Structure 1
Amino acid sequence: MLTLQVEGMSCGHCVRAVTEAIRTLDPKAEVQVDLAAGTVRAETAAAPRAVAAAVEEEGYKVLSGA
């Protein structure tokens, strides 16, 4: 399980954007976004750095976890 601390997520659109970005790398990924805590948890076969890069490409800042 990969856990990322992510800055800038605030709404349902953010949840969808992050989830879809990760699932582009791994369509079977299980993704959980906690807006209040600013975390993204992903059960994925994708490399942690690739997941972080995909989240950052959506416009969010990964603070830790990759």
Structure 2
Amino acid sequence: MSKGRHGASQRLLRTCWVDLGDSTSVCVQGKCIKAGCDGKLGSKKKFDKCSVCGGDNKSCKKVSGLFTKPM
């Protein structure tokens, strides 16, 4: 634990890379704690297949057609 600018104790937080590069975990005093896609520690929220945090996979939009313009 370190002292902050105003004398308050602060815990050092660092990103953990565990289990194939899970970047939603945070290292707290040497232990990795998972966070949800909402950024809250201990949250179980995940991104759905539409990339919506805590979504229900119903907001995806299907895109189809012929794409000819070079990117």
TM-score bracket, normalised by the shorter chain, equals: under 0.3
Q: By percentage of residues, which structure has more helix? A: 1
Higher RCO by CA contacts (8 Å cutoff, separation 6 or greater) = 1
The structure with the larger Rg is: 2
